[in-house]
Structure 1
Amino acid sequence: MVGWFKILKLIPLLFLPIAFYLFHNQSYFYSIVSIEQKCPCSFDSIASCQASRNPKRTLMYIIWGKGGYCSEMNQLLLAFAYSVWSKRHFIIDARQWNYGNFSHYFHVPSMNYFPYSNRTYLGKNNNENELIDHAQTTRTGNILNRFWIASLKVQSLEKIRYVTHYLWKSLTNETLKFIEEHRIKRLPKTYIGIHVRKGDKLIKEAREIPLMEYITLIEAMVKRKKKIRHIFVASDDHTVIGQLRRLRPRWHFVGIDRRKHRKTDTTGHYQKNFDQLSEKDKIFETRLFMTEMQMLIDAKYVLCGMSSNVCRFIQLLRHQNPATLISLDYKWRST
């Protein structure tokens, strides 16, 4: 009896190494909590649910075909999170997508178009939607407003992050190879990533964030973390990195030189110009953009503006604690 008592006293000591590891790896702890406690099911159950060839209940998201990449992806992921919450098989109708075939970027064979004749648009409340076996939604008109109301229960960073990680893990081999070939290598693990949005976003939707606001914030971070001196710059305007180098010539700014690759504007993204490219050029530029996003995912810290869909999408893609991404304007929102 005394022997068993001694063994029981030792059990709490076995948990000390685990507690120590989690304390010093908060982003790991955050991802485990968000997956296992705050979400309705596991990655495996999502995969098995989506693999069904004859789903009894479905939700189809119809891609609009005129929006930007991250704008459409943020809406699509909200629909995906809603489908998991409502226990539906998720389907994507990407026939109108202005970025090409969905399978060019993601290897998700179950997400194809199913032409159910009795498909109905989502209603305003979940009691009504529960009666719909084969529902659909999109991002235009009052349909978007109805979808927004119906999906209120999944409009959280944790739940949408959950399905975003699942989708990003399904990148095609061609896309993964492209990202590996074009990403910037030999950067320390503690580099800072910044995203600077220019182009058509600034015409009506958002204010331009002065580069000195990025500089001021980085200086404050450098004072606390003196080893952080490498900054990866992602921007749709190739002149931004030169401006930053002139502002702080001693800092090490790096970025992917889009002038070597782009077939359209290099001083800001204009969606109408992109939409006129050939499919081949669209796929190349989209994968180049996804390479920049992967660089931001891997950064120790990210500075950007949540007025941009890119910043909101990057927050979803990252596995690190949300506090490691800092917005220079708005707070994160689901779409």
Structure 2
Amino acid sequence: MLYITNEILCAYLVYKTIDHAIYQPKLLGSYCFVRSSLRDYMQNHFINDSIYISLCSFTNIDACQHIHNQTFLFRLHWFPGLTSELNNLVRAFTYAIHTRRKFLVDDQYWNYGSFASFFNVTKGHFSPWLPASSYCSQRQFIHLINYQENGTKNVPAHLTTSRSSDGGFTYLSRLMALHERGNDTIAVRRLVVDYLWESLNNETRCFIDRHLSAMQIDTISYGMHIRRGDKATEAKLFAASDYVAGVEFFMKQQSQTNSKIRIFVASDQSNVIDELRKLKPNWEFVQLPEQKKGSSGHDQTSFNRLPEHIKIEAGREMLTELKILSRVKYVVCTFSSNVCRFLQVLRKQDVETVLSLDVQWYPQ
């Protein structure tokens, strides 16, 4: 009898579903940027988008991603952390759905390499590239801020923005404020993140599943995300004892007296788990094995200098930590951290099951 292990199955799936968008776009495709509005926007009139536009909604994002002649292109930035840029991407994706546009992603300058290293670009319909024969004749992208400043009545068919010094993303934030209202914002974003997460490529998905199985995730009720490193330049850092107090707060809510609990710890600092074990020797603190983290925490500037394959590995580890934290019952973290804010959206549980030690959740 032939036995197929998870590793063999994953290797087969990765081989069979290689995303050809990784290899083709920069050789066989092109798209354009223009800095001011044009009189006429060239469109493919042989494609009728009306059905997909009418069906496009947060409960049918796939219909939005089949629209051809109305798009919104998000250009990934070269510097920020993974979840920082994912939070921005989700906000841009949300805007695209609100305005019934197909959402596209440009990763040419992304510090984590190819978007397709994590996501199946073809499955999610995220690629901005057209066949070489089309070049700029079909899609010419207007920068969001230029369109808004010009005040033209003709809405451009194709818009673009990014986190950059020209203020384009700041303007998008002002536009999105019209749609963002408390927990309704989280509910809407959860639909967007669900679609994004379903677009994970098989290599990333297998990486995550392998660790979830090894961690025995169903035996873990609590999670912590403890950010140190360069976060000290942006927000107050909290002691390990503050995170312990957060878990005790949830235990008290549940009238839990059992001191033998398992807690998953995600942190950018290698020795934080030792601090926790000294504080609570009866609690079992666990983390991903074989992570290469220093005692001083994450520094984004230094991280960006690393080889691409190391950054991809670290990115998959971060996505794995997020998945584990999304599955546990209760989480203690800080919403000043992009990781914690993205986690609140990724979780499908009551928002009150996440305790922030500092600020309230906010959509930026």
TM-score normalised over the length of structure 1 = 0.80
User: Matches of residues 253-268 of structure 1 in structure 2 within 5 Å?
Assistant: 253-257=285-289, 260-262=290-292, 265=294, 267-268=296-297
Within the candidate set 134, 140, 143, 2:168 is matched to: 143
Q: What is the alpha-carbon distance in structure 1 between the residues aligned to residue 230 and residue 300 of structure 2?
A: 7
Deviations 1:47-83 (A, max 9, x none): 133134xx11110011111111011110110000000
Query: C-alpha displacement at 1:245, in angstroms?
Result: 0.4
Structure 2 contact 141–160 (Cα < 8 Å) conserved:
yes
Letter matched to residue 57 of structure 2? C
Q: Which residue in the other structure is 1:71 paired with?
A: 84
Note if 1:197 corresponds to 2:234.
no
Query: C-alpha displacement at 1:42, in angstroms?
Result: 4.6
Within the candidate set 172, 178, 181, 1:153 is matched to: 178
Q: Which residue in the other structure is 1:243 paired with?
A: 275
Structure 1 contact 46–84 (Cα < 8 Å) conserved:
yes
Letter matched to residue 200 of structure 1? D
Structure 1 contact 122–129 (Cα < 8 Å) conserved:
no
Structure 1 contact 80–90 (Cα < 8 Å) conserved:
yes
Q: Which residue in the other structure is 2:238 paired with?
A: 209
Query: C-alpha displacement at 1:267, in angstroms?
Result: 3.3
Q: Which residue in the other structure is 2:103 paired with?
A: 90
Query: C-alpha displacement at 1:120, in angstroms?
Result: 1.1
Q: What is the alpha-carbon distance in structure 1 between the residues aligned to residue 242 and residue 152 of structure 2?
A: 47
Letter matched to residue 163 of structure 1? V
Structure 1 contact 188–230 (Cα < 8 Å) conserved:
no
- Mark the runs of 5 or more structure 1 residues left unpaired by the alignment: 1-39
Letter matched to residue 169 of structure 2? L
Q: What is the alpha-carbon distance in structure 2 between the residues aligned to residue 151 and residue 224 of structure 1?
A: 35
After the TM superposition, which of the residue ranges 300-309 and 208-217 deviates more from structure 2? 208-217
Letter matched to residue 140 of structure 1? S
SS of match in other structure, 2:140: coil
Letter matched to residue 41 of structure 1? S
Within the candidate set 318, 330, 348, 1:301 is matched to: 330
Q: Which residue in the other structure is 1:100 paired with?
A: 113
Within the candidate set 122, 131, 134, 2:155 is matched to: 131
Structure 2 contact 228–269 (Cα < 8 Å) conserved:
yes
Note if 1:41 corresponds to 2:57.
yes
Q: Which residue in the other structure is 2:262 paired with?
A: 230
Query: C-alpha displacement at 1:99, in angstroms?
Result: 0.7
After the TM superposition, which of the residue ranges 269-278 and 310-319 deviates more from structure 2? 269-278
Q: Which residue in the other structure is 2:195 paired with?
A: 166
Query: C-alpha displacement at 1:170, in angstroms?
Result: 1.4
Letter matched to residue 68 of structure 1? G
Q: What is the alpha-carbon distance in structure 1 between the residues aligned to residue 237 and residue 153 of structure 2?
A: 40
Q: What is the alpha-carbon distance in structure 2 between the residues aligned to residue 153 and residue 147 of structure 1?
A: 10
SS of match in other structure, 1:200: helix
Deviations 1:141-175 (A, max 9, x none): 22122111122233322222220111011111111
- Mark the runs of 5 or more structure 2 residues left unpaired by the alignment: 1-55, 130-134
Structure 2 contact 246–355 (Cα < 8 Å) conserved:
no
Query: C-alpha displacement at 1:108, in angstroms?
Result: 3.0
Letter matched to residue 49 of structure 1? C
Structure 1 contact 265–273 (Cα < 8 Å) conserved:
no
Note if 1:50 corresponds to 2:65.
yes
Q: Which residue in the other structure is 1:8 paired with?
A: none
* Closer/same/farther in 2, CA of residues 129 and 243 from structure 1, 3 Å limit: farther
Q: Which residue in the other structure is 2:48 paired with?
A: none
Within the candidate set 113, 119, 122, 2:141 is matched to: 119
SS of match in other structure, 1:233: strand
* Closer/same/farther in 2, CA of residues 58 and 187 from structure 1, 3 Å limit: closer
* Closer/same/farther in 2, CA of residues 61 and 129 from structure 1, 3 Å limit: farther
Letter matched to residue 208 of structure 1? L
* Closer/same/farther in 2, CA of residues 190 and 97 from structure 1, 3 Å limit: same
Structure 1 contact 305–311 (Cα < 8 Å) conserved:
yes
